[in-house]
Structure 1
Amino acid sequence: MSFNKASQNANSKSRFMLGAVAAAGVSLSCGAAHAQSSVTLYGIADVGIEHINNTSAGGAQTREVSGNLSGSRWGLKGVEDLGGGMKAIFQLENGFNINDGTTAQSTRGLGANAATTSRLFGRQAWVGLSYKGQQLTFGRQNSLLYEQAVAFDPMGASSRYSVLSLDYAMAARIDNSAKYTGVFGPVTAQAMYSTRYDTGYGAEVPGAEITGRFFSGALTFAQGPLAASVSYEQRNSNTVATNTGSERRATAAASYVIGSVKGFAGYRYLRASNAFLPANPIRVANGSDASAANLYWAGAQYSVTPAFVLTATAYYQDVHSTGADPWLAVLSADYLLSKRTDVYATAGFAHNKDGSALGVNGYGTVAPGYNQTGVVIGMRQKF
């Protein structure tokens, strides 16, 4: 009996040890699987006090505004390692106005043709695959011109006082899109296509497939202190009756770093059909029959210290067949309190003539033919 009890005790201990080893193995494998995938919560809260004169309603205005150097946002992005270099990726990003808590990106289009949509993730909402420097994604995504503007506009295509003030498409997001990005050494190649780039104007139209179509391509070179890019995009009108009307843009830009100074220069060509809807942006901007415009910009960033950066830039819009050619000058100072928190001050001056209406925050934000000065002081916190 004593032998049997000893044997049973030994067997029990063996089973316990085997069970513990098995449990540890399961725990380790779960940990390894967890280590191969991740989801990150991130965001930016940016708010400031702005003063502008000669508003479109007349007089000056002082207000609290959200999203100055960066649009306020929160988002989720994730990656899962599928093995063999393949990864599944996604990103969901919501824009909001921190001064009143409302969502952003709910209105698209220009003037009387603006449309309102309900967007939970109005900045980005996409999923896709990446493999050894190549990426294919589907959903609502930043346009290629937007990505080029962020990289080659001295103000980084900020929400205010930037290249975005002169062309809304420099911060466009494209619905129903497929985007390819391939990195080949110092060259990055991109292509993008959408079956309906703005669902604020409805879904795809059976039998009229070119309605609301969009396609774009871009090439970027970056090596050492030099970076340069070219890009092209075309979008068709959003109504069946005018869907052969189009809006086309081409850009070329470059940047170069010399010590603590980074210089920028860029060019954008725009041609829009008179029948283009939601609107011909040149006609809305200038109240003219113009259908083409050239936009030029140049500027520099100077890192006074690692924590203090000064930016100066100028933008000039040459609208064909009219003298309504405005320009915008911007000076900005940004001081980092930490890696995640900074304070800034930005001043802009928009000069108008022949009835143009460019304000520091975009066309239509100043009384036509009047100049406008704007100043904003704020802080930004990243998490």
Structure 2
Amino acid sequence: MGGQNIADVVKRTEVLLLAVASAGLAHAADAPTPKSASPDCFQSLYNYLNTSAADCPLTYAGLTIYGTVDVGYGFETNGAPFNRSFGPADAYLISKATSGSRWLLSPNALSSSVLGLKMSEPLGGGWLLVGDVEFGFDPYSLELSDSPRSLAENNGRPLLLQSSNGDSSRAGQIDNSQGFLGLSNPSYGTATFGRVNTLSLDVVSTYDPMAVSNAFSPLGWSGSFAGFGDTEVSRANTAFKYRLDVQNFRMGGLAQVGGYDQGNGSNGEYQGQIGADFGALSLDGVVSWARDAVSLGNYTALPKGYSQDNLKATLSNNAGAMLAAKYAIGQVKIFAGYEYYRLSDPSNTYPSGFTSIGGFSILPGAVTYNAYAINKAMNVVWTGLKYAVTAQIDVTGAFYYEAQNDYSAKACTGTGVHISSSACAGSLDALSFLIDYRPLRRVDLYAGVMLSNVYGGLASGYVAAQNIDPTVGLRIKF
């Protein structure tokens, strides 16, 4: 299938979902309370907020509107100013540009704010037509998450003057989370096509003790863990995804077709998954390979002739594997995970440049294709424990650690943030704690903190090597 044909398929998929959504919402405006909802769940706001999404969905004609709004406020010992384009909004995890203590608006701390519309339409014989369109946004500005834009906004600024920024697969798309159509059957599984979460992102979301929180988990703040080294490949824009459950076992596969021209962060991505539940124990493993994965960056001083929207890119071929487990003992849940990935030089060098997700131009000379002549290898481990104090209160503690090899062609000199190269051996660790109180089933009041540190090569070029981010917030789901 040619690149233009693939793009047309995706566009038709999005148009179809939006058209169906508009029709459903038009009917829903004058419709009675959905039959699937509890009879009294819409009698008051209190009743509604004290139900679950399963008990009281906003559903009509097979369409369900859902969403999450997460707002908060916090303090960072070494932070960067709030950025409404950046997906997490704040640099909760220690980052290159973070410096100096500050109080900050802290949205999306417990989880990303999203709005979505999903479809489940019976076709007969046990088959369902399924679909989902979802986007992440900043609840203060209501702007779509567009992390590459946050990089461009800071182009040409010294680190000490930069606001929070970073790369991501969320680049201002109306479906920056997901946008797919598919078929589902209890016996034959679920097959979808379009913009989908990778299998590794699904596993990370399920087995992170902090549930991929932006403020309290490196796995949530950075999609590079789910992307085996590059955050842009934690989602694929034109991919086939398949899942099948057989008794207590499950399996899955993902194959991306198309490349940069179709809004992907790589020129091909392939994953396989197998997992199982054995009573209170759940296990899942994923293997992954991506070709020409993109990691975008900006400039502290723009080269002559470059514009604000000209970013730089480092390309790599990424291979890796992930294994995760969780176990429930009464009121306690224990989580653990291990990930290994290796980055090597890409299959293609793009001497003429290319256009990245979000429409940013990577000019000739702005592509780094030889960063991993000596392969970069990363080991990641995490563990945590969640304790249900009551039916309404959970406390969670978690620890995260990653370590990279020395893949520098030159001998490393210096220490800490003054080490000679980011390719030198280094590590990152994070320790976090969270109290989550649910006065109503759809409402979370939370307070948490993450202490994060970088060492060696991972601290190279940073302004500071540690951040502590106590944060409080309110999350509402609908």
TM-score (norm 2): 0.63
State whether structure 2 residue 427 is matched by structure 1 residue 342: no
CA 296–118 in structure 1, closer or farther in 2 if over 3 Å, else same: closer
Paired amino acid for 1:97: D
3-state SS of paired residue (1:326):
strand
Q: Which has the higher strand share?
A: 1
The count of aligned residue pairs is 329
CA 132–36 in structure 1, closer or farther in 2 if over 3 Å, else same: farther
CA 245–58 in structure 1, closer or farther in 2 if over 3 Å, else same: closer
Aligned equivalent of 1:194: 256
Bigger Cα Rg: 1
Paired amino acid for 1:194: Q
3-state SS of paired residue (2:335):
strand
Residue 262 of structure 2, aligned match among 203, 211, 215 = 203
Aligned equivalent of 1:185: 247
Paired amino acid for 1:54: N
Aligned equivalent of 2:215: 160
Distance, in Å, in 2 between the alignment partners of 1:92 and 1:47 is: 22
Residue 291 of structure 1, aligned match among 368, 376, 379 = 376
What is the alpha-carbon root mean square deviation over aligned residues? 3.3
Percent identity, please.
Answer: 26
Aligned equivalent of 1:325: 427
3-state SS of paired residue (2:139):
coil
- 8 Å CA contact retained: 2:118, 2:133: yes
CA 70–195 in structure 1, closer or farther in 2 if over 3 Å, else same: same
CA 314–166 in structure 1, closer or farther in 2 if over 3 Å, else same: farther
1:36 CA displacement = 10
Distance, in Å, in 1 between the alignment partners of 2:107 and 2:430 is: 21
CA 118–152 in structure 1, closer or farther in 2 if over 3 Å, else same: closer
Alignment gaps of 5+ in structure 1: 1-30, 206-210, 359-363
1:204 CA displacement = 8.7
- 8 Å CA contact retained: 2:145, 2:171: no
- 8 Å CA contact retained: 1:307, 1:337: yes
State whether structure 2 residue 182 is matched by structure 1 residue 128: yes
Residue 386 of structure 2, aligned match among 301, 308, 326 = 301
- 8 Å CA contact retained: 2:144, 2:172: no
3-state SS of paired residue (1:145):
helix
Paired amino acid for 1:43: G
1:118 CA displacement = 4.2
1:67 CA displacement = 1.2
3-state SS of paired residue (1:202):
helix
State whether structure 2 residue 278 is matched by structure 1 residue 223: yes
3-state SS of paired residue (1:122):
coil
Deviations for 1:308-355, whole angstroms, at most 9, x for unmatched residues?
A: 001101011111124411211010110001011111011011122225
Paired amino acid for 1:263: I
Deviations for 1:65-119, whole angstroms, at most 9, x for unmatched residues?
A: 2211111011111111111111111111121100111101453999999599541
- 8 Å CA contact retained: 2:215, 2:450: no
- 8 Å CA contact retained: 1:212, 1:243: no
TM-score (norm 1): 0.77
Within 5 Å, give how 1:1-383 maps onto structure 2: 37-55=61-79, 56-105=97-146, 107=148, 117-133=171-187, 134-162=189-217, 163-165=219-221, 168-170=224-226, 172-196=234-258, 201-203=260-262, 212-237=267-292, 245-275=316-346, 291-321=376-406, 322-357=424-459, 367-368=463-464, 370-383=465-478
- 8 Å CA contact retained: 1:342, 1:379: yes
Paired amino acid for 1:254: A
- 8 Å CA contact retained: 2:72, 2:109: yes
Distance, in Å, in 1 between the alignment partners of 2:118 and 2:196 is: 13
CA 204–347 in structure 1, closer or farther in 2 if over 3 Å, else same: closer
Aligned equivalent of 1:14: none
Alignment gaps of 5+ in structure 2: 1-34, 36-58, 80-96, 156-165, 295-312, 350-355, 357-366, 407-423
Distance, in Å, in 2 between the alignment partners of 1:344 and 1:272 is: 37
Distance, in Å, in 1 between the alignment partners of 2:211 and 2:447 is: 15
Deviations for 1:212-243, whole angstroms, at most 9, x for unmatched residues?
A: 1111111111132100011011111058xx99
3-state SS of paired residue (1:119):
coil
3-state SS of paired residue (1:164):
helix
Distance, in Å, in 2 between the alignment partners of 1:110 and 1:243 is: 14
CA 87–275 in structure 1, closer or farther in 2 if over 3 Å, else same: closer
Distance, in Å, in 1 between the alignment partners of 2:151 and 2:289 is: 17
Paired amino acid for 2:403: D
Distance, in Å, in 2 between the alignment partners of 1:110 and 1:320 is: 27
Distance, in Å, in 1 between the alignment partners of 2:322 and 2:474 is: 31
1:164 CA displacement = 3.2
3-state SS of paired residue (1:107):
helix
1:203 CA displacement = 3.3
1:183 CA displacement = 0.6
Deviations for 1:189-225, whole angstroms, at most 9, x for unmatched residues?
A: 000011136xxx42399xxxxx611111111111321
1:37 CA displacement = 5.0
1:53 CA displacement = 1.6
1:275 CA displacement = 4.3
Paired amino acid for 1:367: V
Deviations for 1:107-162, whole angstroms, at most 9, x for unmatched residues?
A: 39999995995411211100000012400001101111111011111011223321
Query: Is 95-104 or 168-177 further displaced after alignment?
Result: 168-177
